[in-house]
Chain A
Amino acid sequence: MKKQKLDDSLSEIKKAREYLKESQKNLARLKSGKGVKRKFHFLLQENKVLVILLSLMLISSIVLPVVFLIPDPIIRDPMQESVDTTINLILTNFTDGSGLPILNETLQTPSSELLILSSLAYALISQAGFEHDQADFQSKISQIINTLENDTFVTYNNRSEPLSIFYQFLGIYTLLQSKITLPSSSEVISSTMIQNILVKTLESYLSNERYLIIQPISNSSYLIDQSMAIWVLATYKLLTGNSWVHGYYFEDLIQGLLNGVSDLFFNSTYYTLYHEYDHSTNESRNYALVEDLIFFTVALSRAERLSTYFESSSSYYHQQIINNFVDAEWFVHSINTSDQEVYIKNQALFTLISYLMNFGNVGSEVRNEIIESFSMNKGFIEKVGEEDITCESCLYGLVALASTNWSVIENDREYVNMITDATLSPFYVILTPIMIVFIIKIWRRKIVVKRRW
């Protein structure tokens, strides 16, 4: 009773204070010659029906013309516009007579690297759901893949020198993404084709002695090559669900490469990574640049989805990139934050891996910087402070724009074959009845205890 009285009194005081505050404002209005502000609920109490009718009439008079007379405003997504203008620019300025992308007017023969990057960018844009003629995308991708297939990646016909190991693996990654993008009826890319190229690549570059990716004629191994190989192998396993490829067990293969990185590229004192390993001198050389770290981080993040181990986590290296290479305005620098040259390539790749690793907040900041600082009226520039728009810079711009939506789709696809689902399912079968028995026992025990009381 006392409490009720106290509550009532407190509520009265609160009301009085509020009324007093309102009255102070009202008095000021009165003194300045204006009328008082009256509360609507009083009017409602007084003339409920009238006020409701008037309100309905007022709302109808505003809503009805809007609904029936005024056409829906066309609101264009600025990212969609950016995608459209960039693709148009590529088609008008960076496409040869046969419709393939070219670097510039003087270099009319399309390079395999550019074809791979184009195909990847189109595949990601298409999967990200931007409005575009999907058939057009698919025909472009098909055309690019056909051209690449003639080159056959390893046994090159139209090239004076082979593709780098990095592009070899990026090509396989592009094939995986392109296969997903093209309709299932398309015969341009078959699973067998991708598998054969992967096996051929591994046979050519995987050192069986050290479980390391190495160019046979070179004395050096590079972190970026190991990273790209790990990323491709993990993605292949996650997307196809295959455990074996031509006698290689995927997880052993990936773990072997991670061990190789740990032995030759990893500084266990500072948890830092090296750029290169010289086999002739058995020395690790130069600290990893942002590009090395970006690819290693994404590779490790995919490998973590399988049963593999590395000394530190992918999120640790993601944070290291932010600490050492990303400045306060979210520009991604190549060597360190004092390096003045900021390229769209690093900015786009870091956007892509941040979204793929579910660091959407970082991804959006880095991507926004691309939109703000690299986006021109029609396409994207190469470098902050300069005005060079190239085919590559436009393709990286497209990759960055696609990252937001594409990464969600890709993560869902990969999740299907993750270690938790695939490997642990037998454990769940055994564990579930044990848990049920355990819960029943506890429940019955509680009842006994209750009865005693």
Chain B
Amino acid sequence: MKTVCVHSYKGGTGKTTFLLNIAGILAKQEKKVLAVDYDLRAPSFQSYFKMTKQSFLSHFLLEEKTLGDIIFPCKIDEKANLDLIFSSMEFLKQHSKQRDKLSRDDAKYLARMYNLQKNVEKKYDFMLIDTIPGFFYRSIDSMMISDIILLIATPSTSNVLGIEELCGNIYTMLQEETKMILVINKIEEEGVEADKEIFEENLVKLRQIGNNKFSEVVEVPYFNILSERIHAFEDQPQEEFLNSLKDIIKIIEKG
């Protein structure tokens, strides 16, 4: 089983859309995939799928529920299956004690995630983890247990600066045992459209960072992250976008 973690310096880079679309493509290819929503600050799997019962990753981390309780199978068609683990913002808001525990510097949660990984490694071909953007203890946990880290970045100035910082401080420490792939999502931020120069300048900088510090750099065309669609499941998917994701999958499978 390959464990892939999708990370970003800041939110709104299309991280979850990427992850679920990659999961969708892999599932369509009849691969056994488990997608984990570990973005405890802004969980969003529920925007794509409908939950049937209130069992979340936080329950497993806090040893309140077993692994079997929190995995939800999602049948796409006759042959394709995608298993999901959810997190819930509402649940964490209501249970502030649990939220506080989960945000602490505590190695217990790394051990729980490792335990999760060990328990599912024979059942799945891929485990995809959606993380909290930035430097947080739980995002570091997910990066630690991953074989591949996909860093999603948009060509905004803050993203460029942030990724430089992440590279200098966090990624260099993980590089020895983890494959690092920079995915440049060429999204144009609202209001930035007019400033093409800055966009291009940042794109060049991102490419430079990618070439210098990452094993691979992949560019994907602009797409609307707010659409919250899984293209692989649709009848008329955005082919250009899907093809760019297939390139990433090839790298993942190879790596």
Q: What is the interface of chain A, defined by CB distance below 8 A to chain B?
A: 12-13, 15-17, 19-24, 26-27, 30, 35-39, 42, 45
Contacts and interface: CB of A to CB of B under 8 A. Distances in A.
A16 B135 contact: yes
Contacts of B169: 13, 16-17
Given A13-B165, A17-B169, A23 B107 contact: yes
Interface string B16-51: 000000000000000000000000000000000000
A36 B106 CA distance: 10
B173 A21 contact: yes
A395 B136 CA distance: 72
Contact of A19 (B108, B140, B145): B140
B174 interface: yes
Nearest to B112: A36
Contacts of A26: 107, 110-111
Contact of B140 (A23, A38, A45): A23
B105 A27 contact: no
B141 to A, nearest CB: 7
Given A26-B111, A27-B114, A16 B140 contact: yes
Contacts of B108: 36, 38
Interface in B93-122: 104-108, 110-111, 114
B104 A42 contact: yes
B144 interface: yes
B170 interface: yes
Contacts of B144: 20, 23-24, 27
A177 B15 CA distance: 88
B104 A23 contact: no
Interface of B: 104-108, 110-111, 114, 135-137, 140-141, 144-145, 165, 169-170, 173-174
Contacts of A15: 105, 135
A24 B105 CA distance: 14
Contact of B135 (A12, A24, A39, A42): A12
Nearest to B118: A30
Given A27-B144, A30-B114, A22 B173 contact: no
A36 B173 contact: no
11 contacts: A12-B135, A20-B140, A20-B173, A21-B173, A23-B140, A23-B141, A27-B145, A36-B107, A37-B107, A39-B107, A42-B104
A137 B39 CA distance: 83
Contacts of A35: 111
Binding site secondary structure of chain A: helix
A38 to B, nearest CB: 5
A135 B34 CA distance: 90
A165 B174 CA distance: 81
Contacts of B136: 16
A258 B51 CA distance: 104
A24 B137 contact: no
Nearest to A9: B165
A16 B135 CA distance: 6
Contacts of B106: 38-39, 42
A239 to B, nearest CB: 66
Nearest to B137: A19
B114 A13 contact: no
> Sorted from nearest, which 3 A-B pairs have the closest CB atoms?
A16-B135, A36-B107, A36-B111
Contacts of A42: 104-106
Given A17-B169, A20-B173, A24-B173, A30 B111 contact: yes
Nearest to A31: B114
B107 A38 contact: yes
B174 to A, nearest CB: 7
Contact of B105 (A17, A30, A39): A39
B165 A17 contact: no
Of A15, A16, A37, which is in contact with the most chain B CB atoms at under 10 Å from its CB? A16
A22 B105 CA distance: 10
A7 to B, nearest CB: 14
